[in-house]
Structures are given as C-alpha cells and as structure tokens.
Amino acid sequence: MSVVTRFPPSPTGLMHVGNARTALFNWLYARHHKGKFVVRIEDTDRKRHSEEAVQVIMDALEWLGLDYDGEVTSQFSRLDRHTEVAKEMVAKGQAYYCYCSPEDLKEMREKARADGCKTFYDRRWRNADSSKAPKDINPVIRIKAPMEGATTINDKVQGEVTVANDQLDDFIILRSDGTPTYMLSVVVDDHDMGVTHIIRGDDHLNNTFRQKIIFDAMGWDVPTFAHLPLLHGSDGAKFSKRHGAQSISEFKEMGYLPEALSNYLLRLGWSHGDEEVIPRDKAVEWFDLDPVGKAPAKFDFKKLENLNAHYINEADTEYLLKQAAPFFVKRLGLKPSGIGLERLIAGIDELKSRAKTLIQFVDDGAFYVKEIPFSYDEKAQKNIDEAKDVLSTLLECFESHKGAFDAEFVQSTCKEIADDMRDGKLGKVAMPLRAALTGTTVSPSIFHASEILGKEECCERLRAVL
Ligand code: GLU
C-alpha cells in the first residue's frame, strides 16, 4: 500500500509554526515512504473565508520547501459529496433522521446534566418510525454510534487509546440546514483522497474516535493515526504569543532561513541519535514516526538561532544574497549592486560566520554597500568626536602609503599610532577607525574590512568625518 499523508489547514490568516511542524512531519513521512503528500484547504466557514488567507498557507508551504502532489483540494467544493455520503449512510441503516425540536434537545440536555451523563441525546429517533415525523421540523442526520463496547485507536504516537462507546453519542453528521458537519467532511475527504496516515496535533485525538465510527459505518479502511504532542513554551505552558513569534511569516521576517526553521521543527519531538543539524535529504532518509515522543516539545528560540547561524554560515553566496535581498531593501532601502556588491561578496565569509539571523547579516554588512555620506550611530559619533587627532593621522598615513593596502598594513599603522598617541591601546585607534568606516561600533575585523574597502574609499570615509 502506497502511503498518502495530508495537510488540511483551516485558512485562519496565518500559518502557525505548530501547523508547519505538522505539515513537515506529513511531508517527510510521505517522502520517506515514496508516497504522496496532499493538501486540502478546510474552507467551509464561508463567513470568514478569504483567498488571501489561503495564499498565506500556500506561501508558507513554498517557503518551507514542502511541495505537494496533485491539486489543492477545497473542502467547500465537496459539500455535495459529503451530503451524498450522509444520505447513503441513512440508506444503509448506519444513520438516521432525527426530528427533535430545540425544546426536546434542551429538555434532554437538562436531564443529562442532572443525571451527570457525559452524553445527552437519548437516541429517540434511532429506531423510530419516520412516518411519524413532524412536518414542521427540518431533520438532522445522526450516525448510529455503537452503544456497547469500546472504540480503540492504535495511535503511532499515543499508543493504544480506548474510549467506552457509552461516552460517544449519536452525533450529527448533517445539520438541519443540509450542511455536513466537520466530522463527516474530514472523513469523506480523507477517504476519497486515499489518505493512509493521519498525522496531526493531539488536540484532534478526541475527534478521532468519532471519525473512526464514520469510517467503520461506511466500511472504509481506517487510516493509521499519529497524534503529535503540542508545542509548549520554555516555561511549559502552551506555546503562545507571549513566548514570541508564532506564525511562519513572523519567523521569516525575523531573518530565519527556511532550512533552519524546518530543521528546528523537525527536532521538536523527533530525534535521530544526537544529530542536531539534519539537512533535508537526511531528514527524508531518516524520518519515521517511531521516534516521536509523547511529551510536549518545548520551543527554544536559542536553539533555533544556533541552527540559523549554522545554516547562514554554510549557505552558498548566491543563495544567501537572494535570501538577504529583501532585508537590504527593508533596512537600507537598496539592493546591493556594483562595487557595493563586490565588497559585500569579498567580506562575506566573515559576515556569514558572525550572523545569527539575516537581519544581523545585513546590518553587519551594510557598510560595504552604503555610500557616503551616511549616518553614524550615537556610539560611533562619540568615538569619532573623541579621536579626530587619531583619525587625521590615520588619513595622512593612508594617503602617503605607496605599497599594498592590505589588512596587515592597516593593522600595523593602527598599532604605531596607538603606541604614539594612545599609550599602546590598539582599540583606541581601531574603534574610531571602525566608527568612521562603518558608521557603527560593531563590525567584522576592521583591518580586513579596510582592505576590502580599498585605500581610496577608506580615505574618502575618513575625510567625511574630519
Ligand atoms: N483543519 C484542521 C485544523 O487546522 C485539521 C484537522 C485534521 O487534521 O484532521 O486544525
């Protein structure tokens, strides 16, 4: 049997990182088993529906590199099919019309509450003669749930989970307005789409028992279930806004690479020995559900940052510059080009080895791309103001220098000036130089950076502050 997994998000307007992890696990399971990964948009809530919200999901999947098989299915477009199945179940004697009025139901609810029952519907129409049905009531369709025994799920993550059938009532599958319930739509779609494995958050575990009843009633194969523990924050509470970024677009805007986030999400609840860095091809090779634990996975931003630093450092130049381009536009208002781009590329190894995010990469490398006149941050300005004498000496040494203008020359010049003018303290020369050349007080090695900028540009930048 060939594996088919699915990702069925409701288009809420954002792709939560927990949902992205679910998508990733389904994708990996399918790819590992050379099966299919299908996407279904659960868009039956028409009041809140918007195409932009669907696009947010598609963009997130694309950014994470999770490609899918076939066309995206719209659940809404399949409502007729869901209705047809509900009626088929009635015809097969597996479901029935229920004509209870709102008053009847209210009475039953009150009685159940007084008796301390978990279910309330007394199944009065289960075997009733429908010729006695009231004419003024639009009936619902209820499933004939088993009344004795128990329903058991052999969950790949949660193990064997059993619920006594008297805890599950004859739930509604088609509402009185003729629309199918979520419980029915999901099962019909999963069946028709040939889904063999349902991997999702454990907040859906309770639905599973009811869904299994529908599969059984239709005589359909029940897929294998795997309910993943939900994400928690570092304090053990359910992962939420107060812990930090939640949606994929937020992570993207914070300058995380998709490889890093996806590697991090994979490690949330899944492991392969002690491996931390697991590139996509290895993930496909190694992924299976057995190592997924039952304990909630704690989201740790520090670990994500470490992975991000790793992937930035490993990235090839062309790819990294493409990923960083939107950040240059956002933070500097320009895309690196011409001489600025050349300098950036010359200094890229050092930038890569320092950056934890694309934002840091761009901020650290901005000075290669910026043109004078540019602004100086407060600390840089202070350094410049306090060392005008040093800076003009540096300018004289640079201007009169005839040999190679390399890191070694700049460093030894700074050292000589420090010995002469600043009690041998190299930082007292290097820092003002950094401030003048970069506009900030943090940058890669200023000696190497000077070499990349070149003699002319360094002199220009020194003149600009003097
Ligand atoms: N649309 C549901 C959700 O976004 C998914 C339900 C399922 O996986 O069965 O939570």
Specify which residues 74 forms β-bridges with. Answer: 41
Q: Residue range 397-422: average pLDDT? A: 97
Beta carbon of 253 within 6 Å of any ligand 1 atom: no
Question: Does residue 448's CB lie within 6 angstroms of at least one atom of ligand 1?
Answer: no
Nearest ligand 1 atom to the CA of 186 is 9
Q: By alpha-carbon position, which residue is closest to atom 4 of ligand 1?
A: 9
Q: Which of 73, 200, 212 to mutate to test the pocket of ligand 1 (most atoms within 8 A of CB)?
A: 200
- H or E, element range at 110: helix 102-115
Ligand 1, residue 207: give the atom nearest the CA: 9
Over residues 225-243, the mean pLDDT reads: 94
Cβ–Cβ under 8 Å, residues 200 and 242: no
Q: How would residue 284 be classed by pLDDT, with cut points 50, 70 and 90?
A: very high
Tens of pLDDT along 295-323? 999 999 999 999 999 999 999 999 999 99
- Residue range 113-138: average pLDDT? 91
Q: Is the CB of 207 under 6 A from ligand 1?
A: no
Residue 1 has pLDDT above 90, yes or no: no
Asked whether residue 456 carries a pLDDT value surpassing 90, the answer given is: yes
Long-range Cβ contacts of 349-355 (<8 Å, 24+ apart): 350/444, 350/445, 350/448, 351/444, 352/312, 352/313, 352/315, 352/320, 353/313, 354/444, 355/309, 355/312, 355/313
Per-residue pLDDT, 395: 98
Q: In what order do the strands lie in the sheet with 95-98?
A: 95-98, 140-143, 172-174
Average the pLDDT over 414-434 and give the result. Answer: 97
Q: Round to whole Å and give the CA distance between 423 and 417.
A: 9
The contacts of residue 419 (CB under 8 Å, 6+ apart) are: none
Chain segment 138-187, per-residue pLDDT in tens:
999 999 999 999 999 999 999 999 999 989 999 999 999 999 999 999 99
Token pair, residue 79, equals 């409502």
Residue 76: band (very low, low, confident or very high) from pLDDT cuts 50, 70, 90: very high
Q: Which two tokens stand for residue 417?
A: 């000036």
Q: Look at strands 140-143 and 95-98 and give their pairing.
A: antiparallel
**Cα 58 to the chain's mean position, in Å?**
12
Q: How confident is the model at residue 130 (pLDDT cuts 50, 70, 90)?
A: confident
Q: Can you count the helices (H) and strands (E) in the chain? A: 20, 12
Q: Is the CB of 42 under 6 A from ligand 1?
A: yes
pLDDT for 451 beyond 90: yes
pLDDT score of 117: 87
Q: What is the mean pLDDT of residues 100-111?
A: 94
Set 106, 118, 238, 241: catalytic member: 241
What torsion do the CA atoms of 42, 45, 46, 50 make, to the nearest 10 degrees? -60
What's the confidence (pLDDT) of residue 65?
Answer: 98
For residue 221, what pLDDT is reported? 98
Q: What is residue 420's predicted lDDT score, i.e. its pLDDT?
A: 97
In the chain, % of residues over pLDDT 90 = 95
pLDDT in tens, 342-369: 999 999 999 999 999 999 999 999 999 9
CA dist., res. 96 & res. 100, Å (int): 12
- Cα–ligand 1 centroid distance for 10 (angstroms): 7
Is-contact 196 4, C-beta < 8 A? Answer: yes
CATH 1.10.10.10 fits 378-465, yes or no: no
Among residues 169, 155, 156, 159, the alpha carbon closest in space to that of 213 is found at: 169
Centre of ligand 1 to C-alpha 375, Å, is: 50
Q: What is the mean pLDDT of the chain?
A: 96
What is the C-alpha to C-alpha distance for residues 441 and 382, in angstroms, rounded to an integer? 10
Report domain 78-228's class: alpha beta
The structural domains of the chain, with segments of one domain joined by +, span 78-228, 378-465
**Pairing state between β 224-228 and 172-174:** unpaired
* Nearest Cα residue to atom 6 of ligand 1: 8
321-340 confidence digits (pLDDT tens): 999 999 999 999 999 999 99
User: Is there a catalytic annotation at residue 241?
Assistant: yes
Whether pLDDT at 119 is above 90 = no
Q: Residue 118 pLDDT more than 90?
A: no
Question: How sure is the predictor about 131, in pLDDT bands with cuts at 50, 70 and 90?
Answer: confident
